[in-house]
Every structure is written in structure tokens, then in C-alpha cells.
Chain A
Amino acid sequence: MKQVLYVEDQIDDVELLNIALSRLNLPVEVTRAADASEACNWLYLQTPRELTNLKFLLVDINLPGKSGLELILELRANPQYSNLPMIAFSTSENPSDVLRAYSVGANSYVIKPQAFEELLLTVKNVFNFWCLTNVRVSLSN
């Protein structure tokens, strides 16, 4: 089963994502981590084989404690997880937040939708792309 790690402190957002996935019939299992440390712990417990099923990380920027961007930066520095696709997911439309997300190594920056229809389309496009293609990130420039 394809897996996605969703690092999000707001349980409502996770529930909405799951509703969208079930509506779209996407065969993806979403694991939720409530903060950066929970995400790190979960990744640490994964075997290399299990990690191959992990298609990408969806990371909310505004997390309690360590921010989503700090988490991405930390994971990019770790050779074990550095090639995982990581997507910053945030309410902020501020260009400086987008720039910071890309500069720490996010592969994409997705603004959280304001309506359910929009959420459905976002999830469909994002998940289809990152789950159907076996993308792994190269760190070479």
C-alpha cells in the first residue's frame, strides 16, 4: 500500500484530507504525525523496505514546537531521508514563506484550499503526481 506521512497538528485538516481521499478512491494510506518529533519518530521506526512505500511527506509549516520548515531542513540533512519528496502545505500565501519552503528543500508548496471542491482537486492532482510516479529526490545541483 502506498503511504503518505501527513505532518499536521490540526486533526480537522487530517479528517478533511481523509474524506477527500475516500471520495477520490485513491488507494493511499495517510499516516498522521501531530508534530515534527512525532514525524521523526515514525520515520525512525520504518524499515528501509517500508520506506520505499512512503511516497511523500505532506508537511504543515505552522507546527507546534519545531516548525514544518525546520523538519524539512532536518530530514534533508539526513542521508536516510534526504531523497524523500517533501511538500510544504500551508495557509500562508506570503511569497517569503514560499521562498523559505523551497530554500529549505521542499519539492512543492501547496496552499491549503478554502473550499472542499478545491481540496478535492488539490488532493487529486498532488497525490496522483507524487504517488503514481516513483519520484525520489536527487540532491545533486
Chain B
Amino acid sequence: MTTVNPGLLVKKTKEPSFSSKSTAAPLWTIIVSTVGLVVFNVVPYTKPDLIPFVYNVVLVFNLGLIVLAIYLDSVRKHQVNKIEQSSNELNILNEELTTLNYMASHDLMEPLRLVNVQVSLLEAELDRNFLTESQIKTLSKIGQSSLRATRLVKDLMLYTKLAKEALVVELVDIDKSLQDAISVNSELVVAVKEGHAIIQRVGIHGAKVRGDNTKITLMFQNLIQNAWKYRIKSIQTILTLTVTQTSSTVFIRIADNGQGMTLEQMGKAGEPFKRFNKSEVQGSGVGLAICKRLACKMGGRMELAKNVPNGLAVTLELPKFL
């Protein structure tokens, strides 16, 4: 399976159609040899004096075909080498870009961290009685922006890292994985306990898939976190987790009754740093992009649809056996 990193510059190479040339040589050989054999067998009965001539013609033809076959084979080998070379160059380039992206993000973290620490130090040391309301607000905004930039860079690093990391294939218990993802979201856990949210499970018990447990849990975490973040606060949140299976595929559907998305937004969801509600909800917009990338990496895909009557339904389609 070939995975293409969506965030990276990937030049798609067109495979040359040398296959017709390579199959042509044996085909010609068969046709001409057959004709030669027919002529060679018919001529002795009709015109015996032409035997040496026909023999020589067939010999020359066959020699010519052998030379042609060798030539075409060398052309094919040359083209295969060129493709392999281009592919290697492309892989190296992608690897370099991923590393560069990671290093740039890592280097950005350092000054951002210093800003965070300095701002928090300043906030702790300043006597708030000597600051105006507007100055306190400005200081707080600097701190928040810096923390947001840190979160963005961290998510970018995670997104880049996922492209590089190999999958660890094991048998994943979907129920346990979903439960782990839910338990990380402490606000949701409390809301369920207090009756502000309900989690419905359909067909989950005993459902298993062969895949990377950590990454599948990470996908669930992101999707459940999104469902929680984009909830409608005035109504009870209902999360419906449904698993359906075919002989080869597992469909994991996470549906909510939250704010949902327009069709246009659904088309753009999955692109890194794409956020649709910038003011109210905190987030970097990488969550869905990470899920999409991971689903593709596992040979599956992610689909978004409107939940009826309202909300969003995200379906992860994963192969049962990776």
C-alpha cells in the first residue's frame, strides 16, 4: 500500500506504458514463427527448390526478432530504472520535507515556550492594582495567543509525526478503545454522570479489528472530543457510537446531536488547520485531519454526513485485517 502525505508536496509520476512494447516482442515472435513454420512445411511439397531460400528467410527473421526482443528488454529495464530512481528521489524529498516540517515546528516551540513562561511570570509578579482593565486584558490575550500558537505547533508536529510513524498491527477491541477515548474527556465523563450527556452504544460489544490500537484510540479521542466541543449547550448531548461489520470491513460511526456542519464545511473538513467556529470553540483544526490521515494510512477512509435530525455523523471505515 502506498500512502501519500497530503500535507507534503507530492509529484505524481506517470507510469510509462512500456508494457505494450515488452509484450509485443513475444507476440511477434509467435506470429512470425508460426508463419515461418507453415511456409517451411508447405514449400517442400510445392516448390522444393525454394527450400534453402525459405530456410534463410525464416532464420534471418528469427534472428531479427531475437535482436528486437533484446533491444526492447533493455529499453524496458532502462525505464524501470528511471522510475525507481525517480521514486527514490521522491521518497527522499518527502522524507526531507517531513523532517524539515518537524524540525521547524520543534524550533518554533522553544521561543513560544519562553513567551508562555515569561508571560505567566509577568502575570504573577505584576501588581494588578497598578494595571488598567485594558492592560490586564492585553496581557491575558498575549498569554492566550501564545498558548494557542503552542497548541497549533504541537498539533502540527503530531500531524507530521503520524506520516512518518509505522503502524503497529494488533487485534484491537473497539469497545475498549472507545471507552479509553471517552475516559480521556473528563468534561464528557462528568456530563454523563450528571445526566447532561448520554452515550448510546450499538453493536460495539465484541467488535474487533486488526490495526494500530494507539492510533485507533487517538482517532476516537479526536472524534469524541469534536462531538463534545461542538455540542449545543442548551440541550442534552447524545453521542451514538455504532459499529457495523461486513466480512472485510468495520464501520465505526460516531454521531452527535451538536452544531453539525454545512455540506461545504464537510467538503473542507479533514484539511489541516481548517476551523469553522473560530470564536467560541478552542482548537487547532487538526483533529479531523489527523483522523483522515490515520484512516487512509490503515487502508480505510473517513466519511462525514449530516446526522438526522441534527448534528454530525463521522464514519470510520477500516479494513478488518490490516
The smallest C-beta distance from B249 to any residue of chain A, in angstroms, reads 31
Interface of A is mostly: loop
Closest CB-CB distance, A23 to chain B, in whole Å? 10
A97 to chain B, nearest CB (A): 9
- Which of chain A's residues 1-48 have a Cβ closer than 8 Å to chain B? 10, 12-13, 16, 19
Q: Which residues of A contact B38 (CB under 8 A)?
A: none
Bound complex: CA of A56 vs CA of B117, how far in Å?
Answer: 24
> A116, B117: Cβ atoms under 8 Å?
yes
List the B side residues contacting A114 at CB < 8 Å: 113, 116-117, 147, 150
Q: Which of A68-103 contact B (CB under 8 A)?
A: 91-94
The DSSP consensus for interface residues of chain B is helix
Closest residue on chain B to residue A95 by CB atoms: B161
What chain A residues lie within 8 Å of B116 (beta carbons)?
114-115
Say whether B110 contacts A16, CB under 8 Å.
no
Min Cβ gap B213→A in Å is: 16
The docked-state distance in angstroms from the alpha carbon of A115 to that of B146 is 11
Q: How large is the interface on B (under 10, 10 to 19, 20 to 34, 35 or more residues)?
A: 10 to 19
Q: Is A110 an interface residue (CB 8 A)?
A: no
**A94 and B124 alpha carbons, distance in the complex (Å):** 30
B120 at the interface (CB under 8 A from A): yes
- With A114-B150, A117-B124 in contact, do A91 and B117 touch (Cβ < 8 Å)? no
- Is there an interface contact between B109 and A19, defined as CB atoms closer than 8 Å? no
- Given contacts A94-B161, A114-B150, whether A62 and B120 have CB atoms under 8 Å apart is no
Does A104 have its Cβ within 8 Å of any Cβ on chain B?
no
A48 to B53, CA, bound (A): 101
In the complex, A124 has a CB within 8 A of chain B: no
Does B205 lie at the interface of the complex (its beta carbon under 8 Å from any beta carbon of A)?
no
B100: CB under 8 A from chain A?
no
Taken residue by residue from 129 to 152, chain B's Cβ proximity to chain A (1 for < 8 Å, 0 otherwise) reads as 000000000000000000100100
In the complex formed, the residue of A with least CB distance to B110 is A91
Asked whether, in the complex, the Cβ of A116 is within 8 Å of the Cβ of B113, the reply is: no
CB distance from B310 to the nearest CB of A (A): 37
**In the complex, chain B residues 89-107 whose Cβ is within 8 Å of any chain A Cβ:** 106-107
Residues of A within 8 A of B118 (CB): 12, 16
Interface presence of B121 (CB below 8 A): yes
Can you list 5 contacts pairing A with B, beta carbon distance less than 8 Å?
Answer: A10-B110, A113-B117, A114-B113, A116-B117, A119-B117
List 17 other contacts, CB 8 Å, given A94-B157, A114-B150: A10-B110, A10-B114, A13-B114, A16-B114, A62-B106, A62-B107, A91-B109, A91-B113, A92-B109, A94-B161, A113-B113, A114-B113, A114-B147, A115-B116, A116-B117, A117-B120, A117-B124
- The 3 lowest CB-CB distance pairs between A and B, nearest first, are A116-B121, A116-B120, A115-B120
